[in-house]
Structure 1
């Protein structure tokens, strides 16, 4: 049997998924077909001798859907400089989407990256770069070997530049604010230069303010170059709001300065230089704090990127040579000394040591390694010297794959962000219209008071904050997925993170998930007066060609007793039931109760013994020789130490737990009792696991499936959330939404708990971002003054509020860093 996961395009609803499943299942040779609408993937299990993969693809294409080959499309992450708010991200998305050949694009304002899926035959990467740069943004280096280091340096430089600009701006705007406000405060007598008295020397006073505001405007020149360019391109952003507001203040002040020079000394009361200067200074302060906070949200990925060593020691003959990590080739013998990091993935050839793999798996205890064991890049060699052969290098290492997975997750969008994205797209133009309308309305409403109207106009423009909306979701996802990676939990995207918090039922596979997956022979019972060793020898010989864990356990049990296995003349595996084989002219049948019933074998003789073994949590395997029941070989799989505690923690989260297994009902019930499982789905064939998940979903439940094997992949794909444990197969991990790097089931409640806390954090952020703008903009527009004759909002206070709104969202997201993984001794700390 072959297993494949195919990407499908063109599905719009659940009916499409059902139609594809129905079409594929009709094909001869198909044993299983499941479609996951959310991930747009088709999982198929088929007999490659009967059916070709091309025939499956053709059947899907025939009903109007597209099977996307890996070679058909590519995914690229493009770092982008110059974005200032969510409106910028929306503009870039819109421009890239218009290009022919672009299938999907997601621009993340928090990470400053665009993730684009495209067909290279139709559109070039250079075309996308040109499109982005044409609308005023800068494309950074893509896929460079040292891109991570350069990105770190670039962001640090950006933070330093912003702080420098803020300090320079503050140096000039503070005295500007002082000379503007001090003469107006009558209660306290501030020391004031007599030569700048606005009543006696109005022109000198006005010119002094002008001279102080010019350096501030120069420092904040990017607000104008970017803001007006965006306005010209009909895609205004936050910079546009600041540019329009402060330009209006400065131009009106310049007009009044000319009036003063012409003798209209009353115009000295209508100067707004300090408003423009202080607004720019406060925005620069907010931008600086925002840049620092954004840097902290991506600390987890930076830590991962910094783990890999820069050099490796390779063995050339008997000589050790240190070379750059990029020059390591597959097959090189690498030497790692105590205290050094493993440079690439490989297999130990010589030596014995303990390796700390906590940076990859979250497991705190070092793992013993000897010849034949696998080692992974960035893990730390703690004790002995070892040699290993390089097997995976560069982007193929486990560390590189984890970094890519976390980067993809951090760049993805959760469905909860859709409303914020829609609002962000219209936000700035709507704010401009509100500001213009409010200013004109107050101008006519106050009988032509231009100063009053201008205050309203500037306040509305400056208080509006699209940044808070743009940062609300991605920052929380960045911190949440990063925190998951620190604990060995890889969440494949924002959608998976969001869906996980809705889960109300978790279905666990039994073998290798709840249990260790390494069963051993516990009992050998013979019918009539047969010899137990003879029965074990016959059964083990028949199972020698089987890949099933139970069969392998029986073989291991016979070998442990020193029994020499017979030659098998004919072998046939019966999926989900057992095996049959010809040995020394005898037909041997070994399997479960279903197989015995299908072959009409009477079990009455050993019925009571079978029930007793099953009630003890053991799996009885019936053995038949030439259609006569010969006995039972019982095998038990030990429950993992963490299983019971994990299920208790899941129950505390209010989630029901089920177990699915091919074992008989009594054996399954015994295991369920040991660990506290609510519901048992027993005697389920591998190909029927996904149908059992579908049945649960049909009752309105949100189902997560936890498994580790190839036969779990269809169920993982069918579930709302598929969770693969780290010891599982590549196919299982490909089909899953969440991958647990360790085989510790305590990571399941940790993943669910992390999802719940992250989504709660996102909701808090969105509530603040929407609430701030919904309340702040009307206050700035003068609603309190209109209804209650209350005070107007000074544009300076509006700028301060706007700056702090983004910082507050980021600060709230950073609280997730306090999240602690669920462990057997307790649960995660509140965040």
Structure 2
């Protein structure tokens, strides 16, 4: 009850504090999720590290009106799934404000443009200008200036340093104050404390006519810190550039032909299914559509990863985001912009950090301990030096400042998410979409690969051998086939195109079995032979091959031939060399599976498998401690994809299959599976390297700072360098494997020559 009252109070307070414009912006943050529910997408620019991620997620997930909350560190966004029917973004924004994080509605699924980069650059320039001038004055003091001359130089240094610190330190001061006013500490609190202590200590020495001042240290410290943060900001933006690149492929509007033949330009959000679109050469396709008039060459490299243009003619479907290269075409819009293929790609890319892997959970727990540990360490260092130096509080404070600065959780917090975002961008350029970062971590440690056959190992476009049967039966079979998405049904519908399709009522598709309906009042089935035989008057020729029959009638068997996808042999060879077990799970007969895969290196073949059998097979593997990858495409594979350790599906898969899979590959060849596994293994190696770098940095830097061997300037440089080093190491994933191999080869040749 108390929580409900507090929620209502929070909501009233939020509404009162927000202007009508802000309230409208908050409501615009609501989105419709793939499952039909609501999600709230907020931009939070003040998210800095894993500690911020942990605080926000713990606070939001503790609320009764939040089902789940996930923070995307690289994109600085929060995705909230409300619980129940009530979803008021104003409450969530108010809750974040109480935590010290200013939040606003994210305009779309892409990274929100962050203006802090320009502010950091200006502050860095001011700090650099001030540091240079104070250094020049300090040189005169170090050279032996005494008395009035020295005091004059100190006064000039103070006149430069104080305004520079007040201006250039704003990024740190404002962040620290936002945290402290809600009784929270973040990574900017110790930095602010260190800079202000150095400045105040110098002013105190100036008033007392002291010889040792630290104005140069305070301003130069700010310069290094700001420079490091600016580079960190730029590299983060580069890491998430794949998502922004996708967003730029969506035009702001489309040319629509009105019923009277006139052309009108409409906003992208106003395009509706059924609208006739005109796409000229050089334009991006605004929404998923089907060509109705004209032909052209399309750049579908976004979809397939292949650079060669593809001819599109009437009847072909063209996806949003593809580039029209040559001719003008007219096309009929199939779905609105929010549901287009491009919008789905953007959503999947932006959710690359949706789930937490093992490494990231460790990093977040470590970041939570950062603030109390570093302040306690600085206090103990101050007291220890105060005791060992017989009360020299200036020296003790100087060392404590270095400790405050050098201990930073940024490198540890960035070790995982930046690597995952860069890997997601790399996979996207290869034609593979990654749905969450935990998936790529799981893919790197698989020990078996399990494949469906039809539509996965094969092209998904089987051919139907000639069949002799009654015209009425063939017409009824085609009537059922055109209502099914199964590859075999599509082949039957395509090859029986000369037959008129019968009118089918009460249609019901049963995953793994086939499709059933009533034709002229008679029950009919098209699907597995044994399933069709249940209503037929006699058994089918094969229990697993496609067949059709009316209730009580004789079944008609269909012989469907299939061809392997491109890249199947290369993928199986690569997995076999890697020591993975290779298994085929298929609903077809063992003879057909053996015939199709006779020259593949396989560990096991399981034929005649129903959907539940596939799920049981994978669950048994996991119970045995195995970590299988499942690659499937059909509606009957959705359960198996969800049951596997990690899963992949082609873009031609059913909606249920694509939703259940962790990865979706857009290329026609199966070589994308092995390539994705290689990227996953490289990503896991980079994450381990990042963790090693972050841990080694802290293990070396902290003892040196406590021992008094590190000045605040060196501490600032080391702290910034650690974050930049981790991000730079992650950016290596954006290079192609060929570039990496060439780079390794050049290093080896150089070493041999040396």
TM-score of the pair, normalised by structure 2: 0.83
Kindly state the Cα deviation for residue 417 of structure 1 after the two structures are TM-superposed.
Answer: 0.4
CA shift at 1:818, angstroms?
0.3
Change (3 A) 1:804 1:684: same
State the alpha-carbon separation in 2 of the partners of residues 412 and 338 from structure 1: 41
Larger radius of gyration: 1
| Equivalent position of 1:639 in the other structure | 564
Alignment-derived partner of residue 275 in structure 2: 332
SS at match of 1:754: helix
Taking the aligned partners of 1:158 and 1:349, their CA distance within structure 2 comes to 47
Specify which of 290, 298, 303 is matched with residue 347 of structure 1: 290
Cα offset, 1:715, TM superposition: 0.8
Matched, 1:230 2:193: no
Q: Distance in 2 between matches of 1:71 and 1:495?
A: 21
Distance 2:138 2:515 in 1: 92
Residues 492 and 827 of structure 1: CA distance in aligned 2, closer, same or farther (over 3 Å): farther
2:243 matched residue in structure 1: 301
CA distance in 1, matches of 2:264, 2:537: 68
**SS across alignment from 2:397:** helix
Give yes or no for the alignment of 1:117 onto 2:81.
yes
Q: CA deviation at 1:443?
A: 0.9
Give CA-to-partner distance per residue, 1:31-74, whole Å, 9 cap, x none.
xxxxxxxxxxxxxxxxxxxxxxxxxxxxxxxxxxxxx9989963
Deviation sequence 1:82-111 (CA, Å, 0-9, x none): 334433333333433343312222223322
**Residues 177 and 779 (structure 1), Cα distance of their counterparts in 2 relative to 1, 3 Å cut:** same
Residue 599 of structure 1 and its aligned partner are, at CA, apart by: 10
Pairing of 1:484-633 with structure 2 (within 5 A): 484-522=427-465, 534=468, 540=474, 543-544=477-478, 545=480, 547=484, 549-550=487-488, 553=491, 559=496
1:451 aligns with 2:428: no
Q: How far is 1:744 from its partner? A: 2.2
1:173 lines up with 2:98 in the alignment: no
Structure 1 CA distance for aligned equivalents of residues 545 and 597 of structure 2: 17
| Secondary structure at the counterpart of residue 435 of structure 1 | helix
Q: 1:599-748 to 2 correspondence within 5 Å?
A: 634-748=559-673
SS at match of 1:389: strand
Query: Following the alignment from structure 1 to structure 2, what is the Cα–Cα distance between the partners of residues 589 and 105?
Result: 45
Deviation at 1:556, TM superposition (A): 5.8
2:429 pairs with 1:465:
no
Tell me, what secondary structure is at the counterpart of 2:129? helix
Report the counterpart of residue 258 of structure 1 in structure 2.
207
Deviations along 1:507-545, one digit per CA (max 9) or x if unpaired, are 1111111112333345x8xxxxxxxx7569798567444
**Pair 575,327 (structure 1): closer, same or farther in 2 beyond 3 Å:** closer
C-alpha displacement of 1:214: 1.2
Q: CA contact under 8 A between 2:290 and 2:331: conserved in structure 1?
A: yes
Aligned to 1:209: 157
Question: Is the Cα–Cα contact under 8 Å of residues 659 and 672 in structure 1 kept in the other structure?
Answer: no
Give the distance between the partners of 2:263 and 2:475, measured in 1 at CA: 48
**Structure 2 CA distance for partners of 1:78 and 1:578, relative to 1, 3 Å:** closer
Q: Is contact 2:512–2:636 with CA below 8 Å preserved after alignment?
A: no
Asked if the contact 2:110–2:243 (Cα under 8 Å) also holds between the matched residues in 1, the reply is: no
> Is 2:41 aligned against 1:77?
yes
Deviation of the 1:653 alpha carbon? 3.7
CA–CA separation in structure 2 for the residues paired with 1:312 and 1:469: 45
Are the counterparts in 2 of residues 336 and 385 from structure 1 also a CA contact under 8 Å? yes
Alpha-carbon distance, 1:555 to partner: 6.9
Distance (Å, rounded) in 1 between the aligned partners of 2:549 and 2:691: 65
Aligned residue among 309, 320, 339 for 1:366:
309
- Aligned partners of 1:466 and 1:178: how far apart in 2? 34
What is the CA distance between 1:695 and its match in structure 2? 2.4
- 8 Å Cα contact 2:101-2:178 kept in structure 1: no
Decide whether aligned partners of structure 1 residues 361 and 182 sit closer, same or farther in structure 2, where only a CA change above 3 A counts.
farther
Q: Confirm or deny that 1:144 pairs with 2:86.
A: no
Q: Are the aligned partners of 1:542 and 1:588 in contact in 2 as well (CA < 8 Å)?
A: no
2:370 is matched with which residue? Answer: 427
CA distance in 2, matches of 1:811, 1:463: 20
The correspondence for 1:131, drawn from 85, 95, 104, is 95
Q: Which residue of 2 is the match for residue 272 of structure 1?
A: 214
Change (3 A) 1:441 1:387: same
Q: 1:810 aligns with which of 716, 721, 727?
A: 727
Q: Provide the secondary structure at the position in 2 that maps to 1:90.
A: helix
- Where 2:631 maps in the other structure, the secondary structure is strand
1:821/1:722 CA distance change after superposition, 3 Å: farther
Quote the Cα distance in structure 1 between the aligned partners of 2:172 and 2:505.
82
5 Å matches for 1:308-323? 308-316=250-258, 317-323=260-266
Alpha-carbon displacement from aligned partner over 1:335-387 (angstroms, at most 9, x marks no partner): 11222221222222222223222223323333332323222222112233211
Q: SS at the partner of 1:314?
A: strand
1:774 and 1:592, CA in 2 relative to 1: closer, same or farther beyond 3 A?
Answer: same
Give the aligned partner of residue 121 of structure 2.
Answer: 163
Task: Give the CA deviation at 1:683.
Answer: 1.7
The corresponding residue for 1:776 is: 701
- Compared with structure 1, are the counterparts of its residues 336 and 108 closer, same or farther at alpha carbon in structure 2 (3 Å cutoff)? closer
- 1:714/1:622 Cα in 2 relative to 1: closer, same or farther (>3 Å)? closer
- Pick closer, same or farther for the CA change 1:72–1:160 going to 2, 3 Å: closer
The structural deviation recorded for 1:468 is 1.4
Cα distance in 2 for residues equivalent to 1:473 and 1:588: 51
* Aligned equivalents of 1:288, 1:573: Cα separation in 2: 56
1:227/1:627 CA distance change after superposition, 3 Å: closer
Corresponding residue number in structure 2 for 1:377: 320
Alpha-carbon deviation of 1:435?
0.7
Structure 1 residue 421, shift from structure 2 partner: 0.5
Give the superposition deviation at 1:810.
1.1
SS class of match (2:281)? coil
User: Which structure 1 segments of 5+ residues have no match?
Assistant: 1-67, 185-191, 261-266, 525-532, 786-791
Equivalent of 1:91 in 55, 77, 80: 55
The match for 1:105 is 69
Contact 1:110 1:475 in 2 (8 A): yes
Q: Say if 2:718 is the partner of 1:801.
A: yes
Contact 1:513 1:743 in 2 (8 A): no
Q: Cα–Cα, structure 1 residues 374 and 201, in superposed 2: closer, same or farther, change >3 Å?
A: same
Task: Tell me the alpha carbon deviations over residues 286-344 of structure 1, each in whole angstroms, 9 at most, x when there is no partner.
Answer: 11111111110011011100011223222122323334434433322111122222122
Gaps of at least 5 residues in structure 2 are 1-31, 746-754
Q: TM-score, normalised by structure 1?
A: 0.76
> CA deviation digits over 1:773-792, x for unaligned, max 9?
2221121000xx7xxxxxx2
User: What SS does the aligned partner of 1:268 have?
Assistant: coil
Output the CA distance in 2 between the equivalents of 1:84 and 1:591. Answer: 56
Corresponding residue for residue 243 of structure 1:
192
The 3 A distance-change label for structure 1 pair 371 and 457 is: same
